[in-house]
Structure 1
Amino acid sequence: MPLDLTYDDPASDVVLDAAAGVRRSILPGGVRLLTQTDRSVRSATLGLWLPVGSRDERPEHAGSTHVLEHLLFKGTSRRSALDIAAAFDEVGGDSNAVTAKEHTLYYGRVRSADLPMAADVLTDMITASLLEEEALRTEREVILEELAMAEDDPTDIGYETFLAEVLGPETAIGRPVGGTEQTVTALAIEDVREHWREHYTPENLVVTAVGDLDHEELAGLLVAGLRRGGWELADGALPTRGRREGALAPESAAALDVAAIAPHRLVRPSEQNHIYLGGQGLSALSEDRHALSVLMSVLGGGMSSRLFQNIREQRGLAYSVYSFSAGYRDAGLFGLYAACRPGRTAQVVELLAEELEQMGSGGITATELERAKGQITGSFALGLEDTSSRMGRLGTLELVHGRYTSVDETLRRIGEVDVRAVQDLAARLAASFSTRVEVGPES
């Protein structure tokens, strides 16, 4: 069974999964360390997670989490920006960062012999970055180019618009992760520093690492690196009690006939119309999340899926067509996507909705159920061959779920999904269509 993690014991040091080599400790300052030792590889992936994302920003500071992520690569009191980049390049490793709605992650993948360097550089970045005005001026231009690049991609702008419409454009979770041109331009260096001081603290930090490593040795490297950067790590301190909740997404509206949903149109110079259709879905903590994975696989998860076979293979109405979902701690969404020539839009929209509605009324076959389970479990198992994927899984379990679940337990939960669970969920989602976004040429 899943093992609930301990937050109240400052001496917490637990072997979460002896067979898989997974261990969790609370270090001085309340820093959480989760490792999976794997002696079959010669590398290690190290991730430093902060449970702060774009939904934690004040509206006037939208984009500050993403800006801060960029600035932490621009130099510390001990290293220049070039030094940070060269540290990983010269050993053949790689390093990067991700800003999401509910977390920020800094990570590096190196040979196991170079893990001390990775720990030193990453802890230096999060504790002792200079956060200078000149660096902000330069990096702001880079970020504005990044936002412009997303505006040029119809799938990027379409998805962001769809997400905002479903979750609420005025809610924190509905705002774009990178902010807007206006908010990024207005952001002052003191705003970024304030964001760093508030959120980058020992009790918020979660470190996950997978590969050829020693848990105790890595713990020592992390404590030394964080203290070197100026963090005070008190013995007996406790970690943050899970993620602070943000504003909930709005309640679902009454079910609408898909044909009656007015599309949110974005005019772009494009040969195709990019269609996003869907509504509110399941949170990341929902007990039905495994049934949702099966549903998404059957509906639009591959070349054998219903959407692909009906809309592309049998009718030739689109080249790209699929289903998708996203889950957060207290909200979620589901969507169907297709790109087609503008004159086919009405027919494609009708077919997209029809497939989900038919799953809700008639269910799926036993063959479809088993094929979907095979696809999910196979891709899940293959993904875990990579140390970076396993590092990400440990971080997600800690930050989102607050408990460790073994691979075997996850596979068992997927295996328990039955035809009735998928049909019931499909019926619920089919009654939740609320949003339609189209990106394409002027009609």
Structure 2
Amino acid sequence: MTHPSFPTARPTAQVGRAVARQPLTGTPSAQTPVEGRDGVGTVRRTVLPGGLRVVTESLPSVRSATFGIWAHVGSRDETPALAGATHCLEHLLFKGTERRSALDISASLDAVGGEMNAFTGKEFTCYYARVLDTDLPLAIDVVCDMLTGSLIRAEDLDAERGVILEEIAMTEDDPGDCVHDLFAATLFGDTPLGRPVLGTVDSVTALTRDRLTAFHREHYDPTRLVVAAAGNVDHDTVVQQVQAAFARAGASTDPEAVPLAPRAGSLHIPAQGRVEVVRRSTEQAHVVMGMPSISRTDDRRWALSVLSAALGGGMSSRLFQEVREKRGLAYAVYAYNSAFADCGHFTVYAGCRPGQVYDVLRLCREQLHEVAGNGLSGEELRRAVGQLSGSTVLGLEDTGALMHRIGKGELCFGDQLSVDDMLGRIAAVTPDELREVAADILERTPSVSVIGPLTDRQTARLDRIVA
């Protein structure tokens, strides 16, 4: 799913953003101030002829910069026959262009101490480089060259296919990671959100160069891309360099082209109450229980984020205290909410001994029911708001995180929300709002996925959890 250095930790909360959009023009748009750690970082947005969007956040006090290009394509855009195509393309764009070999691409960033990587999700893909501010022109040139000039050769596909099959095998060997893919399949069924980002051995083996080049042409049009840069950057300079790079590749400059709107959807989630168990000879059983949740644009997302933090976001959280601290039933237990364009899921994970799976799930279900009925205590609410506020700010301490925030904000929401506004939305969550979202989400029928050496009797007991 990602190159090895990209962090794969699952979030405990997702926060959206919403303010009025900047005007769509081919020249630098008006500046939107966003509070930064050392004062004010300026976020600016420009739409170039051809529909390519460029957003930057300038922080003159740092000496680094992160440059990324976000593509409006993820694994949910694939047909079953193309499962894994988005991720496969992510790999292939590193394999060479007319101007650079694969070695040239990696060596150019290595030579200046930079970092280069990419990741594929269910609804977007991102390619990025982090460098010294003085090396930003190099990063822009290399990443833009990859996105616009990749050769996507048949021999490169054949070689990289083996790498991706190894990546699939590596994921399968990690039950703590694999159980989340199993849960997605359990919850969403045979839908694009239910299929793994990596694809399957059969689907990746069947991918051809012709299919991948057609997929690339369809989904990497400038109207479907967002360029994001953060750090010690000058917006006008970034715009000029990006425009030159795309012009060199012959990209469209149609003045009538309009950027693609944020993704919408209407996914039908199958009936819940399903239990899926994959038996493996592991020492621990890896357990996920969850239920359908809300989309990333739902106004209740702020309350749900606070609720997620209170239930399973840290060592003082309700589930950690009840499951681990008081009863010693699990080493790891946490909760998180994943949000997509049209739906989401609220999820609890635990790793425990196989004989304790039922007890852990029963206790977690009881705690969810308790919070759904009675809400959180005032102290739990204060702790959760503080934890979520702190993690939100601390998570933006480097230029890579800032690039991620503004790039995803533009692609998924079409706008930006300042850090102060985000903190204000979190702090404004009321006990009534928490009770309402808890009563709605936590009382929904859950589904359960388990990987571990469960017996038939242990597996049969799990039906009581989802009844």
TM-score band, normalised by shorter chain: over 0.9
Match of 2:281 among 269, 277, 280: 269
Identify the match of residue 350 of structure 1 among 351, 354, 362.
362
Q: Is the 8 A contact 1:2 1:405 kept in 2?
A: yes
Asked whether the equivalents of residues 303 and 309 of structure 1 are also in contact (C-alpha less than 8 Å), the reply is yes
Equivalent in the alignment of 2:392? 380
Q: Is the 8 A contact 1:119 1:222 kept in 2?
A: yes
Quick one: which amino acid aligns to residue 136 of structure 1?
L
Q: Distance in 2 between matches of 1:269 and 1:228?
A: 55
Q: Match of 1:25?
A: 46
- CA distance in 2 between counterparts of 1:425 and 1:66 reads 34
Which residue is 1:290 aligned to? 302
Does 2:212 correspond to 1:196? no
Note closer, same or farther for the CA distance 1:420–1:251 as it changes in structure 2 (3 Å cut): farther
Per the TM alignment, residue 234 of structure 1 is displaced from its structure 2 partner at its CA by 3.2
Give the match for residue 50 of structure 1.
Answer: 71
Instruction: Establish whether residue 103 from structure 1 lines up as the match of residue 124 from structure 2.
Output: yes
Which residue does 2:421 correspond to in 1? Answer: 409
Matched, 1:205 2:232: no
Q: Deviations over 1:104-132 (max 9, x none)?
A: 10000000000000000001001111100
**CA separation in 2, counterparts of 1:241 and 1:388?**
24
Note if contact 2:184-2:193 (Cα within 8 Å) is conserved in structure 1: no
Say whether the 8 Å CA contact 1:150–1:157 is kept in structure 2.
Answer: yes
Instruction: Return the alpha-carbon distance in structure 1 between the equivalents of residues 316 and 260 of structure 2.
Output: 44
Q: Residue type matched to 1:173 in 2?
A: L
Cα distance 1:5–1:113, how it changes in 2: closer, same or farther (>3 A)? Answer: same
After TM superposition, the runs of 4+ consecutive aligned structure 1 residues lying more than 2 A away are 6-12, 232-238
- Aligned mates of 1:7, 1:350 — CA distance in 2: 52
1:63 to 67, 76, 84: 84
Given that residues 385 and 426 in structure 2 are in contact (C-alpha distance below 8 angstroms), is that contact kept between their aligned partners in structure 1?
yes
The amino acid of 1:216's aligned partner reads D
Query: Are the equivalent residues in 2 in contact too, given 1:377–1:411 (CA < 8 A)?
Result: yes
1:249 aligns with 2:268: yes
Deviations 1:74-102 (A, max 9, x none): 00001000000011111001000011111
Q: What residue number does 2:330 align with?
A: 318
How many angstroms apart in 2 are the aligned matches of 1:442 and 1:412?
A: 46
One-letter identity of the residue aligned with 1:350? R
Distance 1:368 1:408 in 2: 22
In the TM superposition, what is the alpha-carbon distance from 1:394 to its structure 2 partner? 0.4
Q: Give a deviation string over 1:131-178, Cα, whole Å, max 9, x none.
A: 000000000000000001111111222100101221x22211221111
The size of the alignment, in residue pairs, is: 434
Looking at structure 1, the residues matched to 63 and 26 of structure 2 have their Cα atoms a distance apart, in angstroms, of 32
Aligned mates of 1:251, 1:403 — CA distance in 2: 32
* 1:351-401 CA distance string (max 9 Å, x none): 011111111111111111111111011111111121111111101211111
- The AA in structure 1 aligned to 2:345 is L
- Alpha-carbon shift at residue 403 of structure 1 (Å): 1.8
Question: Per-residue CA shift, 1:252-288, capped at 9, x if unaligned?
Answer: 65xxxxxxx5531101120111111111011111111
Whether contact under 8 Å (1:6, 1:12) holds in the other structure is no
Match of 2:349 in 1: 337
TM-score by length of 1: 0.95
CA drift at 1:3: 3.0
Tell me how far apart the structure 2 counterparts of residues 199 and 116 of structure 1 sit (CA, whole Å). Answer: 25
Q: 1:328 aligns with which of 306, 328, 340?
A: 340
Matched-pair contact (CA < 8 Å) for 1:43–1:212: yes
- Taking the aligned partners of 1:275 and 1:384, their CA distance within structure 2 comes to 31
Question: Which residue in the other structure is 1:119 paired with?
Answer: 140
Cα distance in 2, alignment partners of residues 396 and 249 from structure 1: 25
The answer to whether the Cα contact below 8 Å between 1:283 and 1:327 also exists between their aligned partners in 2 is yes
Q: Which of the numbers 214, 219, 237 marks the counterpart of 2:234?
A: 214
Which amino acid in structure 2 is aligned with residue 226 of structure 1? F
The residue number in structure 1 matching 2:191 is 171
Residues 262/332 of structure 1: CA separation in 2 closer, same or farther (3 Å cut): closer
Q: CA deviation at 1:14?
A: 2.5
CA–CA distance in structure 2, aligned partners of residues 242 and 423 of structure 1: 30
TM-score normalized with structure 2 length:
0.90
Are 2:179 and 1:158 equivalent residues in the alignment? Answer: yes
User: Which stretch shifts more, 114-123 or 358-367?
Assistant: 358-367
What is the rounded CA distance, in whole Å, between the counterparts of 2:420 and 2:271 in structure 1?
Answer: 35
Tell me the SS of whatever aligns to 2:258: coil
Residues 28 and 223 of structure 1 are in contact (CA less than 8 Å); yes or no, is this contact kept in structure 2?
no
What's 2:435 paired with?
Answer: 423
The code of the aligned residue for 2:209 comes to I
Deviation per CA, 1:39-69: give whole Å up to 9, x if none: 1100100110111111111221111111011
* Gap runs ≥5 in structure 1: 254-260
Change beyond 3 A, Cα 1:26–1:414: same
Q: Tell me the alpha carbon deviations over residues 304-344 of structure 1, each in whole angstroms, 9 at most, x when there is no partner.
A: 01111111111111111111110001010011111111111
- Aligned CA distance change for structure 1 residues 67 and 2 (closer, same or farther; 3 Å): closer
Q: Tell me, in whole angstroms, the C-alpha distance in 2 between the residues paired with 1:300 and 1:317.
A: 15
State the alpha-carbon separation in 2 of the partners of residues 365 and 316 from structure 1.
23
Is this contact kept in 1: 2:28–2:44, CA < 8 A?
A: no
Within 2, Cα distance between the matches of 1:237 and 1:12? 17
CA distance in 2, matches of 1:262, 1:330: 21
Paired letter, 2:450: E
- SS of corresponding position for 2:50: helix
